[in-house]
A and B are shown apart, each in its own frame.
Chain A
Amino acid sequence: MKTTTKQKIAFSILFLCTIMVVLPVLFVLGIIIKNGWHGINWQFLTTMPKDGMRGGGIYPAIVGTLYLVSLSIVFSLPIGLLAAIYLNEYAKDNLLTRLIRLAIVNLSGVSSVVYGLFGLALFVTFMKFGVSILSGALTLAIMNLPIVITASREALASVPYSFREVSYSLGLSRWQTIRHSVLPFAIPGILTGAILSLARAAGETAPILFTVAAFYLPKLPDSIFDQAMALPYHLYIISTQIPNISTETRYATALVLVGIVFSMNIIAVVIRARLRKRKKW
């Protein structure tokens, strides 16, 4: 009797702690939606900012962010996928593999502002891409590589080994096996990882501070060598650098950013859920 009472108390405390973690999420989302909802309209989403960003819309920031994340995935998905194939299908349990694993762990742990410094030193200055969409996308791509690799690898590892054995027994080579008997079944999982990495790239600010971000540029970029506005950086600027902007505009910008990031996450979750249902092996 006494021990079960103890258990009840202990579980209640654990439950309270969990609530304290989850509640702030609802609070943050609730407050953004409540205060930002009225600021969002068609004009806000599709016009250039004006009056020193106090009026007009956030169109170029939205477009800039979409350019950045799509270009970054062009770099990170192929490299990340091939790296995952190497780790899952080719790598032996040796020092090199251990080093690669350690490198991935480290890439995922490097501070986002250090990525910004790195992008500035390598892409902007050394390779002379300048402050541009290209520099920012490359920086984001390297930052997101660990996510793509880890997700792709999990997807590949979840394909049963017997699929490979059947393919080998039919006399197919290692690459043919991967190409026809493994990859097709891993694609939804790989896609999930890719979209999650897109969502993260869309919300990152520090890596693009010195590599892409334009303070105020009320036009769309012409090429990948142009500077661009980006949504997270825009939110940072209008909430810290520019006084007298209506709070509604600030919250509306935050809501658009959170909306983009969350809808990508939801798409990824839906793909993952469908995959689980369809899986028959």
Chain B
Amino acid sequence: MKLRQIKEFIIEKLIFLSGILSILFVVLIFTFLLKEGFLFFKEISIKTFITGKYWYPISDPEQFGILPLILGSLIVTLGAIIVSVPLSIACAFYISEVAQGRIKDILKAGIEMLAAIPSVVLGFIGMTTLVPFLKNVFNLPTGLTALSGSIMLGLMAMPTIITISEDAINAVPKSYKEGALALGATRWQAMYRVIIHAALPGIIAASMLGIGRVIGETMAVMMITGNAAVIPTTFLQPVRTLTATIAAEMGETVHGSMHYYSLFAIGIILFVITFIINVTADMFLHRNKK
């Protein structure tokens, strides 16, 4: 009897510990990024870092301005939003409100498959199909452009946006729709006059989480956007994103150099961006549940 109680006490403590471990991991990630990035910010102020126009980490004198990288990430993300958000919302409505039976299952399986394709594979396919295609269509010197990144990343954001929007649409009380139909509205009128309003917070949250995924995406974007650290002016030129910079350059840095620390500083910026996006999205979702 006594032994059993001791055993249970230990198990329940372990359960509690595992429960709070997630918080610990978030804190650990931030601490270790700060620990390495801190040494960088001792030398260079955050302001010069963010607003500097030139990213020449290995030339002499070295320059660490990430404005071109931030704008690179922004332009790719903006394009991906245009590509993915309207399509995904339409798709979520079709799957949850129009499609039925077998078709619905097949479409859902298709979306799950899209989510399962590894990003490096999508990057590879982008390199071999989309990049040459865009090069020919727009008659460009290279197809490795912000546009290719936007299209591929838009595709990758779709499963997130669709699944969460679909949940939000399904969570709208049946009585709303039934009420609209009883008043003589068609299913389509019920959808765009009633359901979409009730599901809006969830749909916004879904889009934000999709955008968060796009900003953090690394491999595909590194393989198909051309990696030129210049301030972008159009969608049809090579750009370099924050994530691609870290992934492409970390292998070449000397451990403990300014260049090494600067990549951690970029990591801090990325962490803060995704943190803000996720917390805001979660607030929208939470509000929706009440």
Contact = CB atoms under 8 A, between A and B. Distances in A.
B112 interface: yes
Contacts, number: 264
Given A32-B125, A109-B274, A120-B250, A103 B8 contact: no
B264 A111 contact: no
A114 B271 contact: yes
B99 to A, nearest CB: 8
Contact of B90 (A14, A91, A104): A14
A100 B251 contact: no
Contact of A6 (B99, B186, B223): B186
Interface in B7-39: 8, 11-12, 14-23, 25-26, 28-29, 32-33, 35-36
Contact of B94 (A18, A103, A204, A261): A18
A122 B28 contact: yes
A176 B5 CA distance: 11
A192 interface: no
A167 interface: no
B81 to A, nearest CB: 15
A235 B121 contact: yes
B139 interface: no
B125 A100 contact: no
Contacts of B175: none
Nearest to B25: A142
B19 A86 contact: yes
Name the interface size band of chain B. 35 or more
B118 A103 contact: no
Interface in B187-215: 187-189, 191-192, 209, 212-213, 215
Interface residues of A, number: 90
A145 B25 contact: yes
Given A90-B19, A103-B26, A126 B32 contact: yes
A235 B124 contact: yes
A198 to B, nearest CB: 12
Interface in B247-279: 247, 250-251, 255, 263-264, 267, 270-271, 274-275, 277-279
Pick from B158, B216, B223 the residue with the most CB of A within 10 Å: B216
Q: Which of A31, A111, A199, A210 has the most CB of B within 10 A?
A: A111
Contacts of A102: 279, 282
A246 interface: no
A133 interface: no
Nearest to B224: A240
A104 B118 contact: no
A22 B29 contact: no
17 contacts: A25-B117, A82-B17, A83-B15, A86-B15, A91-B19, A103-B25, A103-B26, A105-B281, A105-B282, A113-B216, A117-B33, A142-B25, A175-B8, A202-B118, A232-B120, A240-B127, A258-B121
